[in-house]
């Protein structure tokens, strides 16, 4: 079968809020430009094609977030979003910020200003994107789900498009009857909006050294569930954030509980991936969070419906790669446009996409797509609220690296000093470099040859669930007859070094039970249940040897998130 | 050869199902959908026949606006055009009603083969194709695994129990209900997806089809849908082996009444 190829003008990779807002804004700007040109006799832009490719089965199926949303960019993009039935759950009605000890919940008498969500909205990003997709499509943007970007196409170092993934490849790499090679999509501008730890973005940033002189990115992993509670118990717009239990003092993060419509409660835990203990398991910590008396009480009589997990780039301003260059722009989480203090990225993603659209319009008008022309994007970002927000919280995550208590003081000072704090501008270390070896935690096995393991946990299937049960609730599916999309560059390291040094932490940090280590015939062997993978990207980030490479599986594979 | 393939849109295979407030079906809020499994194999069978024989494949679906995505998917995979049967009167049809509407549309269109899936993954009646054949006065075959068209006739392979098959000959036009797993489904290519945008989807309602609404009144109704009650019980008997054995015998005799 021959490889398809397609030429478009502008290609967005990943149908998240960043790309969808960007693509739609670009169409609006082109229409406006042409109307003005018509009125003033200026030069109109010829037919411009805009395409968005997405790895999920549908636009929205991989969408997961909190979320409390700052809706300004939505208002700007679609002033009539209410009339069009935007599925916002509720304006924030009740706010609760609490500190959890093992048994108690201490509610903060005031809402600390950075956590104040007055005027913001509780939304399900999943619902919002499933709603927005068709509207964007109607505005004359091609949305192409089930086509993951597998490779960047270059001419020298200039980006000229993306090659999508092959389909119909068997598990040993053989071509099946229905083999269909990936398509080459050529574009004047390729916009990477792949979200956190984008697989193309990662390699592209490496190739062009776009992160030179920047702090390494630090991430957090968010694990969450949607619960259905007895009728009338959930207050839509209820927003609770917690600090403390079950996270150890040296681990960044916290819990959240949001009230949605239709008796649904959104509950989750965010865990910084720059932790030290190799047995840290975000899914397990989340189970402990739900067992806290104050939380368990909320969930009583309810039923867990949906589960999901995803990483969040927390590094902020100083971890941003250079996000423009010859033939490309990087937007949203992929370029670390996220307010890490408020844990809000949706509005930043949307706005960054919309600013990218403005820069692209200028490029189209000038018919120039080089670094100099696309630098305009950076100028626009610097003039917008996006930069202001990033700047104010530029040191937030870093403040937590000496532990929570110190972090709270430092971040409080940062708030007062406009982000500067006591320590000035801070550096970060990449998360996987902070992980400590087992002996640091006195976790070495008593006898040599024994394998260290954390204490087993019991799941009650009422409030707590094991990973496999939870994964079922994420609707995740991959065709089993395909090569694993989790590439382990060197299995020997897993068995010969990692087992003894770190105790194979992949078993713990993966929230979907993808990694197992099997004892077989006296030896240990890693087993990779890739079809469970919820595409959170934790493994690509946290593996201490950096030998796991997450690549896109066959298009359409992955979670089928609903309401998350 | 002109082939009409019926494609039903059903809730995705492992959806989290919740029963609706009336207790007579599932909640449709928060569902995502896909092509009914055996229908997808019907579509593939039709596309392969067309590749061999030439002709036309028409993708037909009945349901609300959302089912257009199923038709579009079929067009992207290679169907030539689509028919979308949509009308508020089609909202709560039983198998007879669905077959009545489909057969009216198929008759108006004309065809050599009408394919449906073996059964739908949601209702599982396995009736639609069979009733449609009856209403059209045409021969039919069910659980079809292979189709070999001849001159004005067909030879089809049917699946029987225990690994047995049956070959049947019949005159064409005919109605076949297709078994899952009989071929390898193709992927929609990017070219196919682009091309699909230009293909026609004809929309037909009660008036266009000239159907008498009264004739569609359901002959069958769902009274109650519920989650099976767990009736299995586990008891642990404690004590010495002799006591356990005695207690077990007593329970088997008096509670479980197996003797
Ligand atoms: C648990 C959690 C809680 C959060 N809470 C909040 C909150 O309360 N408020 C808030 O504002 N923000 C919150 N965020 C952050 C917010 O969700 C993100 O900042 C936002 O979704 C980023 O949008 P994006 O478009 O950049 O990327 P994403 O939303 O990640 O979208 C990227 C899309 O690209 C697709 N994709 C990726 N790679 C490829 C590829 N190679 N080819 C094709 N498609 C690809 C993905 O499938 C996905 O659909 C939270 C995030 C998490 C995980
Ligand atoms: S395999 Fe990696 S990306 Fe997939 S769920 Fe596990 S940690 Fe996340």
Task: Give residue-wise pLDDT tens across range A6-18.
Answer: 999 999 999 999 9
Gap from CA of A346 to ligand 1 centroid (Å): 8
CB of B92 less than 8 A from some CB of A: no
Gap from CA of A270 to ligand 2 centroid (Å): 16
Let me know: does A308 contact A126? Beta carbons within 8 Å: no
Euclidean distance between CA atoms A16 and A194, whole angstroms: 7
CA geometry: angle B213, B218, B222, nearest 5 deg: 150
CB of B15 less than 8 A from some CB of A: yes
Which of B16, B186, B190 shows the shortest C-beta gap to A306?
B16
Euclidean distance between CA atoms A121 and A127, whole angstroms: 13
pLDDT digits (tens, 9 = 90+) for A77-116: 999 999 999 999 999 999 999 999 999 999 988 888 777 8
Euclidean distance between CA atoms A59 and A127, whole angstroms: 11
Please return the burial class of B1, using the count of CB atoms within 10 Å of its CB with bins 0-12, 13-18 and 19+: middle
Q: Where on the phi/psi map is residue A242: left (φ > 0), alpha (ψ -120 to 50), or beta?
A: beta
Residue A405 pLDDT exceeds 60: no
Which chain A residues are within 8 Å of B188, Cβ to Cβ? 146
* Atom 2 (ligand 2) nearest CA: A539
**Interfacial B residues in 192-231 facing A (CB < 8 Å):** 193-194
Residue A287 pLDDT exceeds 80: yes
For residue A65 the two structure tokens come to 């977030």
SS3 A28: helix
Euclidean distance between CA atoms A508 and A498, whole angstroms: 13
* Atom 11 (ligand 1) nearest CA: A344
Which chain B residues are within 8 Å of A6, Cβ to Cβ? 190-191, 194
Which of A180, A228, A305 shows the shortest C-beta gap to B187?
A180
Pick the CATH number of A5-66+130-215+317-392 from 3.40.50.300, 3.40.50.460, 3.30.2310.20, 3.50.50.60: 3.50.50.60
Which chain B residues are within 8 Å of A560, Cβ to Cβ? 12, 32
Atom of ligand 1 nearest to the CA of A310: 53
Which chain A residues are within 8 Å of B194, Cβ to Cβ? 6
What ipTM was assigned to the predicted interfaces of this complex? Answer: 0.89
Kindly give, in sequence order, each residue whose CB lies less than 8 Å from that of residue B149, ignoring residues fewer than 6 positions away: B1, B49, B53, B112, B113, B172
Chain A interface test: which of B40, B48, B187 (most A C-beta within 10 Å): B187
CA geometry: angle B58, B174, B111, nearest 5 deg: 35
| Partner residues linked to A91 by β-bridges | A121
Euclidean distance between CA atoms A88 and A120, whole angstroms: 10
Atom of ligand 2 nearest to the CA of A532: 5
Q: Does domain A85-127+218-313 have CATH number 3.30.9.90?
A: yes
Question: What HEC string does A429-494 produce?
Answer: CCHHHHCCCHHHHCCCCCCCCCCCCCCCCCCCCCCCCCHHHHHHCCCCECCCCCCCCEEECCHHHH
Euclidean distance between CA atoms A212 and B91, whole angstroms: 60
Q: Which secondary structure element, helix H or strand E, spans residue A306, and what is its range? A: strand A303-313
* Atom 31 (ligand 1) nearest CA: A16
Gap from CA of A89 to ligand 1 centroid (Å): 19
Q: Does domain A432-550 have CATH number 3.40.640.10?
A: no
User: How do the domains of chain A map onto residue ranges?
Assistant: 5-66+130-215+317-392, 85-127+218-313, 397-425, 432-550
Closest-lying ligand to the alpha carbon of A540?
2
Whether A562 sits inside 8 A of B188 (CB atoms) is: no
Residue A239 pLDDT exceeds 80: yes
The CA–CA distances, whole Å, from A220 to A217, A310, A553, B133 equal: 10, 9, 23, 59
pTM (2 d.p.): 0.93
CB of A305 less than 8 A from some CB of B: yes
Which of B30, B187, B194 shows the shortest C-beta gap to A167?
B187
pLDDT of residue A91: 97
Q: Angle at which helices B128-136 and B95-109 pack, to 10 degrees?
A: 50
Long-range contacts of A522-526 (CB under 8 A, 24+ apart): A523/A495, A524/A451, A524/A495, A524/A499, A525/A495, A526/A488, A526/A491, A526/A494, A526/A495
Whether B18 sits inside 8 A of A228 (CB atoms) is: yes
Domains belonging to chain B, first-starting first, are 2-216 (3.40.50.620)
Sheet (strand A94-100) strand order: A105-107, A94-100, A238-244, A253-259, A264-272, A219-228, A303-313
Closest-lying ligand to the alpha carbon of A506?
2
pLDDT digits (tens, 9 = 90+) for A531-544: 999 999 999 999 99
Query: What string of pLDDT tens digits covers the 259 residues of chain B?
Result: 999 999 999 999 888 888 998 999 999 889 999 999 999 999 999 999 999 999 999 999 999 999 999 999 999 999 999 999 999 999 989 999 999 999 999 999 999 999 999 999 999 999 999 999 999 999 999 999 999 999 899 999 999 999 999 999 999 999 999 999 999 999 999 999 999 999 999 999 999 999 999 999 999 989 999 988 877 778 889 899 999 999 999 988 988 888 7
Which chain B residues are within 8 Å of A185, Cβ to Cβ? 190
Atom of ligand 1 nearest to the CA of A313: 19
pLDDT of residue B100: 97
Burial B48-75 (b: 16+ CB within 10 A, else e): bbbeeeebebbbbbbbeeebbebbbbbb
Residues touching ligand 1 (Cβ under 6 Å) are A 13-19, 53-56, 62-69, 125, 148-149, 193-196, 198-200, 222, 224, 268, 310, 312, 332-334, 338, 343-347, 349, 552
Ligand 2 touching residue A536 (CB < 6 A): yes
């Amino acid at each position: 079968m021959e490889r398809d190829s397609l030429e478009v003008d502008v290609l967005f990779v990943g149908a998240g809020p960043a790309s969808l807002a960007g693509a739609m804004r670009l169409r609006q700007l082109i229409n406006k430009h042409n109307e003005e040109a018509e009125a003033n006799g200026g030069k109109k832009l010829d037919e411009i094609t805009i395409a968005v490719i997405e790895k999920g089965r549908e636009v929205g199926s991989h969408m997961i977030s909190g979320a409390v949303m700052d809706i300004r960019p939505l208002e700007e993009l679609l002033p009539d979003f209410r009339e069009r039935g935007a599925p916002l759950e509720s304006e924030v009605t009740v706010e609760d910020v609490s500190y959890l000890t093992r048994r108690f919940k201490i509610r903060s008498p005031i809402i600390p200003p950075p956590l104040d969500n007055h005027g913001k909205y509780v939304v399900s990003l999943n619902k919002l994107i499933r709603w927005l997709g068709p509207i964007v499509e109607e505005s004359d943007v091609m949305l192409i789900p089930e086509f993951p970007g597998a490779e960047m196409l270059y001419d020298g170092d200039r980006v000229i498009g993306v090659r999508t993934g092959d389909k119909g490849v068997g598990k040993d790499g053989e071509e099946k009857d229905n083999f269909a090679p990936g398509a080459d999509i050529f574009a004047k501008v390729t916009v990477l909006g792949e979200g956190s730890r984008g697989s193309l973005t990662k390699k592209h940033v490496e190739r062009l050294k776009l992160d030179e002189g920047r702090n390494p990115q630090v991430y957090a992993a968010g694990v969450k569930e949607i619960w259905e509670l007895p009728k009338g118990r959930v207050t839509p717009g209820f927003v609770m954030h917690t600090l403390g239990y079950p996270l150890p003092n040296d681990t960044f993060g916290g819990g959240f509980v949001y009230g949605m419509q239709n008796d649904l409660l959104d509950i989750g835990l965010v865990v910084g991936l720059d932790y030290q203990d190799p047995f840290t398991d975000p899914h397990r910590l989340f189970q402990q969070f739900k067992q806290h008396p104050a939380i368990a009480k909320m969930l009583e009589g309810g039923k867990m419906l949906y589960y999901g997990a995803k990483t969040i780039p927390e590094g902020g301003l100083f971890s941003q790669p250079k996000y423009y260059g010859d033939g490309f722009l990087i937007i949203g989480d992929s370029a670390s446009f996220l307010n890490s203090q408020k844990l809000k990225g949706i509005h930043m993603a949307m706005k960054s996409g919309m600013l990218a659209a403005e820069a692209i319009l200028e490029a189209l008008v000038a018919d120039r797509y080089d670094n100099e022309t696309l630098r305009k994007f950076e100028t626009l970002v610097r003039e917008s609220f996006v930069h202001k927000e990033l700047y104010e919280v530029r040191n937030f995550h870093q403040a937590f690296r000496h532990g929570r208590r110190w972090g709270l003081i430092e971040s409080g000072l940062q708030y007062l000093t406009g982000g500067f704090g006591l320590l000035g501008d801070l550096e970060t270390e990449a998360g996987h470099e902070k992980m400590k070896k087992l002996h640091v935690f006195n976790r070495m096995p008593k006898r040599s040859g024994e394998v260290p393991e954390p204490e087993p946990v019991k799941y009650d299937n009422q409030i707590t669930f094991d990973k496999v049960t939870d994964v079922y609730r994420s609707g995740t599916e991959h065709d089993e007859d395909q090569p694993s999309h989790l590439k382990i560059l060197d299995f020997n390291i897993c068995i010969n070094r990692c087992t003894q040094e770190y105790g194979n932490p992949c078993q713990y940090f993966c929230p979907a039970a993808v990694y197992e280590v099997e004892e077989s015939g006296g030896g240990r062997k890693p087993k990779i249940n890739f079809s469970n993978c919820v595409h959170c990207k934790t493994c690509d980030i946290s593996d201490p040897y950096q030998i796991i490479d997450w690549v896109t599986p066959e298009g359409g594979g992955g979670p089928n998130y609903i309401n998350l | 050869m002109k082939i009409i393939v019926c494609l039903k849109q059903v809730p995705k295979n492992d959806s989290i199902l919740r029963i609706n407030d009336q207790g007579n079906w599932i909640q449709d809020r928060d569902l995502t959908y896909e092509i009914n499994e055996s229908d997808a194999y019907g579509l593939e069978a039709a596309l392969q026949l067309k590749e061999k024989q030439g002709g036309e494949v028409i993708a037909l679906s009945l349901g609300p606006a959302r089912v257009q995505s199923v038709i579009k998917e079929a067009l992207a995979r290679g169907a030539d055009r689509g028919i979308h049967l949509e009308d508020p009167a089609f909202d709560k049809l039983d198998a007879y009603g669905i077959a009545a509407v489909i057969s009216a549309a198929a008759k108006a269109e004309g065809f050599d083969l009408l394919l449906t899936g073996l059964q739908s993954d949601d209702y599982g009646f396995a009736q639609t194709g069979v009733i449609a054949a009856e209403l059209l006065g045409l021969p039919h075959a069910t659980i079809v695994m292979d189709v070999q068209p001849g001159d004005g006739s067909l030879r089809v392979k049917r699946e029987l129990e225990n690994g047995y098959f049956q070959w049947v000959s019949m005159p064409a036009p005919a109605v076949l209900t297709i078994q899952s797993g009989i071929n390898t489904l193709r992927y929609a290519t990017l070219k196919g997806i682009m091309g699909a945008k230009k293909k026609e989807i004809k929309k037909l309602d009660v008036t266009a089809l000239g159907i008498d609404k009264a004739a569609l009144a359901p002959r069958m109704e769902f009274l109650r849908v519920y989650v099976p009650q767990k009736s299995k019980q586990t008891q642990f008997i404690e004590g010495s082996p002799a006591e356990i054995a005695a207690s077990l015998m007593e329970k088997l005799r008096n509670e479980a009444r197996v003797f």
